[in-house]
Amino acid sequence: MRNGHTLLEVLVSSGILLTLLSALGLGLSVSISAYRQGTETAKVEQSARAIIGSLSRDMGQATAEEGAPLVPIPEPGTRTGPEVAFYIPNDLSDMRRIKTERVRYFLSGGTLFRETHQEDGSSRQRSVAGGVRSFSIEPLDSRSFRVTFSLTTWQGQEIVRQSLLMAGGKD
């Protein structure tokens, strides 16, 4: 460059280097934010699909034991929130005796759980989805429910609130 100054010295003295670095940093920050938001959205979508899929499978297979209706079991005054319980067949290979299991959904610590109690007294519990802020199942009649849930990002912002109608199995 002229007068013995390097390109770097010119850029530093004129403030152009600082401007370029700032723009680069801002671009990087925006990219990280967009990536984080994209992955959070994907996680929330995955949670919503998991909840709807699990409930759909259970309610689609649901059967009443000896003609009893599918009735949600409320748990007022508990920390786990609302729950629903119903019977589903778990062994269709022996049509002379269809075994049933009681299925219960409940919310605890931001995670929705599915718990099954089988006729032999054994039980299993698994998580369905994380990032769940609220979950409720409201009975509309003996066979249909309104399912409402909301999901949050890792920062705790509610970004999905879903309400849908679901029906149980046939009489």
Q: What is the pLDDT of residues 113-160, one digit of tens each?
A: 888 777 677 788 889 888 888 887 776 665 666 777 888 876 666 676
Any domain includes 72: yes
Give the highest mean pLDDT range of 20-24, 34-38, 108-112, 120-124. Answer: 108-112
Range(s) of the domain holding residue 114? 38-167
Any domain includes 141: yes
Confidence band of 105 (pLDDT split at 50, 70, 90): confident
Select from 70, 36, 69 the least CA-distant residue to 55.
70
Any domain includes 25: no
Any domain includes 13: no
Any domain includes 89: yes
For residue 148, give every residue at least 6 positions away whose Cβ sits within 8 Å of its Cβ, in sequence order, or none: 134, 135, 136, 137, 138, 161, 162, 163
Tokens of 171: 């009489």
Any domain includes 21: no
Looking at residues 69-84, what average pLDDT do you find? 44
Q: How many residues does the chain have?
A: 171
Any domain includes 7: no
Burial of 4 (0-12, 13-18, 19+ CB in 10 A): exposed
**At residue 5, what is the residue type?**
H
Question: Does the pLDDT at position 164 exceed 50?
Answer: yes
Domain tally for the chain?
1
Query: Could you give the strand order of the β-sheet that contains 132-139, starting from the edge strand earlier in sequence?
Result: 132-139, 144-152, 158-167
Q: Residue 66: its pLDDT value, please?
A: 44
Any domain includes 19: no
Residue range 48-57, pLDDT digits in tens: 888 878 877 7
